[in-house]
Amino acid sequence: MKFLVLDYLISQGHREAAEYLCEDASIPFPRDAIENLDQRMRIRDDIVEGKIQSAIEKVVKVVPDLLERNPVLHLRLLQQHLIELIRNKMVEEAVAFTQSIVEKVDAHPEMEKEMQKAFAMIAFEKPEDSPYTYLLEMSHRQMVANDVNSAILEALNKPSAPKLENLFRLILWSKNVLKHNDTPESLERLFSGQVTNI
Protein backbone atom coordinates (compact mmCIF):
# COMPACT_ATOMS: atom_id res chain seq x y z
CA MET A 1 0.00 0.00 0.00
CA LYS A 2 2.82 2.41 0.82
CA PHE A 3 4.14 2.06 -2.75
CA LEU A 4 0.71 2.97 -4.15
CA VAL A 5 0.60 6.05 -1.93
CA LEU A 6 4.18 6.93 -2.92
CA ASP A 7 3.29 6.61 -6.61
CA TYR A 8 0.29 8.89 -6.03
CA LEU A 9 2.35 11.54 -4.23
CA ILE A 10 5.06 11.54 -6.90
CA SER A 11 2.68 11.63 -9.86
CA GLN A 12 0.73 14.48 -8.30
CA GLY A 13 3.90 16.47 -7.60
CA HIS A 14 4.01 16.25 -3.79
CA ARG A 15 7.74 15.75 -3.34
CA GLU A 16 8.01 16.67 0.35
CA ALA A 17 5.22 14.30 1.32
CA ALA A 18 6.77 11.54 -0.82
CA GLU A 19 10.17 12.05 0.80
CA TYR A 20 8.61 12.00 4.26
CA LEU A 21 6.73 8.78 3.46
CA CYS A 22 9.96 7.15 2.24
CA GLU A 23 11.80 8.25 5.35
CA ASP A 24 8.99 7.14 7.66
CA ALA A 25 8.55 3.77 5.91
CA SER A 26 12.34 3.23 5.55
CA ILE A 27 12.14 2.80 1.79
CA PRO A 28 14.47 4.42 -0.73
CA PHE A 29 13.14 7.41 -2.64
CA PRO A 30 12.88 6.39 -6.30
CA ARG A 31 15.50 8.65 -7.93
CA ASP A 32 14.11 8.05 -11.42
CA ALA A 33 10.86 9.66 -10.26
CA ILE A 34 12.41 13.04 -9.57
CA GLU A 35 13.45 13.64 -13.17
CA ASN A 36 10.70 16.20 -13.81
CA LEU A 37 9.07 16.22 -10.38
CA ASP A 38 10.47 19.59 -9.30
CA GLN A 39 9.53 21.22 -12.60
CA ARG A 40 6.01 19.80 -12.43
CA MET A 41 5.71 21.03 -8.83
CA ARG A 42 6.71 24.55 -9.85
CA ILE A 43 4.21 24.51 -12.72
CA ARG A 44 1.46 23.29 -10.39
CA ASP A 45 2.36 25.94 -7.80
CA ASP A 46 2.28 28.70 -10.44
CA ILE A 47 -1.17 27.65 -11.63
CA VAL A 48 -2.57 27.34 -8.11
CA GLU A 49 -1.14 30.79 -7.30
CA GLY A 50 -2.66 32.27 -10.48
CA LYS A 51 0.69 32.87 -12.24
CA ILE A 52 -0.44 31.40 -15.54
CA GLN A 53 2.05 33.06 -17.90
CA SER A 54 4.91 31.77 -15.74
CA ALA A 55 3.35 28.29 -15.76
CA ILE A 56 3.05 28.36 -19.57
CA GLU A 57 6.73 29.31 -19.91
CA LYS A 58 7.72 26.43 -17.62
CA VAL A 59 5.52 23.95 -19.51
CA VAL A 60 7.27 24.94 -22.75
CA LYS A 61 10.67 24.32 -21.13
CA VAL A 62 9.67 20.83 -19.92
CA VAL A 63 7.81 19.72 -23.06
CA PRO A 64 8.44 22.31 -25.82
CA ASP A 65 5.68 21.17 -28.19
CA LEU A 66 3.04 20.15 -25.64
CA LEU A 67 0.80 23.19 -26.06
CA GLU A 68 1.03 23.01 -29.84
CA ARG A 69 0.08 19.32 -29.79
CA ASN A 70 -2.64 19.91 -27.21
CA PRO A 71 -4.37 23.18 -28.17
CA VAL A 72 -7.33 22.50 -25.87
CA LEU A 73 -4.98 22.39 -22.88
CA HIS A 74 -3.37 25.60 -24.13
CA LEU A 75 -6.80 27.24 -24.32
CA ARG A 76 -7.60 26.08 -20.79
CA LEU A 77 -4.43 27.79 -19.59
CA LEU A 78 -5.30 30.93 -21.58
CA GLN A 79 -8.79 30.87 -20.09
CA GLN A 80 -7.27 30.66 -16.61
CA HIS A 81 -5.01 33.61 -17.42
CA LEU A 82 -8.07 35.60 -18.48
CA ILE A 83 -9.83 34.60 -15.25
CA GLU A 84 -6.83 35.86 -13.25
CA LEU A 85 -6.93 39.20 -15.08
CA ILE A 86 -10.64 39.50 -14.27
CA ARG A 87 -10.08 38.44 -10.65
CA ASN A 88 -7.49 41.22 -10.30
CA LYS A 89 -9.91 43.80 -11.81
CA MET A 90 -7.61 44.33 -14.81
CA VAL A 91 -10.52 44.96 -17.17
CA GLU A 92 -8.63 46.71 -19.98
CA GLU A 93 -5.98 44.00 -20.01
CA ALA A 94 -8.70 41.32 -19.95
CA VAL A 95 -10.46 42.88 -22.95
CA ALA A 96 -7.18 43.19 -24.89
CA PHE A 97 -6.23 39.63 -24.00
CA THR A 98 -9.65 38.37 -25.09
CA GLN A 99 -9.23 40.07 -28.47
CA SER A 100 -5.78 38.52 -28.87
CA ILE A 101 -7.04 34.93 -28.43
CA VAL A 102 -10.32 35.05 -30.36
CA GLU A 103 -8.84 33.30 -33.41
CA LYS A 104 -7.44 30.47 -31.26
CA VAL A 105 -10.85 29.99 -29.66
CA ASP A 106 -12.63 30.04 -33.03
CA ALA A 107 -10.29 27.30 -34.25
CA HIS A 108 -11.46 24.99 -31.43
CA PRO A 109 -15.25 25.08 -31.13
CA GLU A 110 -15.16 22.48 -28.33
CA MET A 111 -13.69 25.21 -26.07
CA GLU A 112 -15.86 28.07 -27.29
CA LYS A 113 -18.58 27.71 -24.66
CA GLU A 114 -16.06 27.48 -21.80
CA MET A 115 -14.17 30.52 -23.04
CA GLN A 116 -17.40 32.51 -23.42
CA LYS A 117 -18.08 31.99 -19.72
CA ALA A 118 -14.81 33.70 -18.87
CA PHE A 119 -15.43 36.42 -21.49
CA ALA A 120 -18.87 37.07 -19.94
CA MET A 121 -17.38 37.78 -16.52
CA ILE A 122 -15.73 40.91 -17.93
CA ALA A 123 -19.19 42.52 -18.10
CA PHE A 124 -19.69 42.24 -14.34
CA GLU A 125 -18.38 44.95 -12.04
CA LYS A 126 -18.05 42.22 -9.42
CA PRO A 127 -17.10 39.00 -11.22
CA GLU A 128 -18.09 37.03 -8.13
CA ASP A 129 -21.71 38.08 -8.86
CA SER A 130 -21.64 36.48 -12.30
CA PRO A 131 -23.27 33.10 -12.93
CA TYR A 132 -19.75 31.78 -13.62
CA THR A 133 -18.30 32.58 -10.22
CA TYR A 134 -17.14 28.96 -9.89
CA LEU A 135 -14.36 29.85 -12.35
CA LEU A 136 -12.90 32.09 -9.65
CA GLU A 137 -12.72 29.30 -7.08
CA MET A 138 -9.46 27.65 -6.07
CA SER A 139 -10.87 24.31 -7.21
CA HIS A 140 -10.85 25.58 -10.82
CA ARG A 141 -7.16 26.46 -10.57
CA GLN A 142 -6.47 23.02 -9.10
CA MET A 143 -8.41 21.31 -11.87
CA VAL A 144 -6.33 23.13 -14.51
CA ALA A 145 -3.13 22.27 -12.61
CA ASN A 146 -4.13 18.59 -12.51
CA ASP A 147 -4.89 18.57 -16.24
CA VAL A 148 -1.54 20.18 -17.05
CA ASN A 149 0.32 17.75 -14.78
CA SER A 150 -1.40 14.76 -16.42
CA ALA A 151 -0.62 16.09 -19.91
CA ILE A 152 3.05 16.57 -19.02
CA LEU A 153 3.30 13.05 -17.60
CA GLU A 154 1.64 11.63 -20.70
CA ALA A 155 3.97 13.60 -22.99
CA LEU A 156 6.93 12.18 -21.06
CA ASN A 157 5.57 8.64 -21.60
CA LYS A 158 4.71 8.22 -17.93
CA PRO A 159 1.31 7.19 -16.58
CA SER A 160 -0.92 10.26 -16.50
CA ALA A 161 -2.91 8.90 -13.57
CA PRO A 162 -1.45 7.42 -10.39
CA LYS A 163 -1.75 3.67 -9.82
CA LEU A 164 -3.90 4.28 -6.74
CA GLU A 165 -6.43 6.21 -8.83
CA ASN A 166 -6.47 3.46 -11.45
CA LEU A 167 -6.94 0.83 -8.75
CA PHE A 168 -9.83 2.79 -7.27
CA ARG A 169 -11.48 3.06 -10.71
CA LEU A 170 -11.03 -0.68 -11.22
CA ILE A 171 -12.65 -1.41 -7.86
CA LEU A 172 -15.62 0.83 -8.70
CA TRP A 173 -15.97 -0.77 -12.13
CA SER A 174 -15.79 -4.27 -10.62
CA LYS A 175 -18.33 -3.38 -7.99
CA ASN A 176 -20.68 -2.06 -10.66
CA VAL A 177 -20.26 -5.19 -12.82
CA LEU A 178 -20.85 -7.47 -9.85
CA LYS A 179 -23.85 -5.42 -8.75
CA HIS A 180 -25.59 -5.99 -12.08
CA ASN A 181 -24.80 -9.71 -12.26
CA ASP A 182 -25.46 -12.60 -9.93
CA THR A 183 -22.90 -11.88 -7.27
CA PRO A 184 -22.06 -14.34 -4.51
CA GLU A 185 -23.09 -12.97 -1.13
CA SER A 186 -19.50 -13.06 0.14
CA LEU A 187 -18.37 -10.68 -2.61
CA GLU A 188 -21.27 -8.32 -1.93
CA ARG A 189 -20.25 -8.19 1.73
CA LEU A 190 -16.63 -7.59 0.73
CA PHE A 191 -17.53 -4.58 -1.42
CA SER A 192 -19.82 -3.20 1.25
CA GLY A 193 -16.98 -3.45 3.77
CA GLN A 194 -18.78 -5.96 6.01
CA VAL A 195 -16.29 -8.79 5.68
CA THR A 196 -12.61 -9.22 6.44
CA ASN A 197 -12.24 -12.93 5.63
CA ILE A 198 -13.84 -14.70 2.68
Q: What tens digit of pLDDT does each residue of 78-97 get?
A: 999 999 999 999 999 999 99
In this structure, the answer to whether residues 167 and 157 fall within a common structural domain is: no
> Which residues touch 19 (CB under 8 Å, ≥6 apart)?
29
Q: Tell me: the pLDDT tens digits for 12-59?
A: 656 677 666 767 777 876 676 666 778 888 999 999 999 999 999 999
Q: Do 83 and 166 fall within a single domain?
A: no
Query: Does residue 174 belong to any structural domain of this protein?
Result: yes
Considering the domain architecture, whether residues 170 and 157 belong to the same structural domain is answered as no
What 3-state DSSP class applies to 100? helix
Q: Are residues 117 and 184 in the same domain?
A: no
Could you tell me if 39 and 61 are in contact, meaning their C-beta atoms sit under 8 angstroms apart? yes
- Indicate the pTM of the whole model: 0.71
Report the domain count for the chain.
Answer: 2
Which alpha helices (DSSP H) does 34-108 contain, by range? 37-48, 52-62, 66-69, 71-87, 91-106
Which residues form the domain of 186? Answer: 162-198
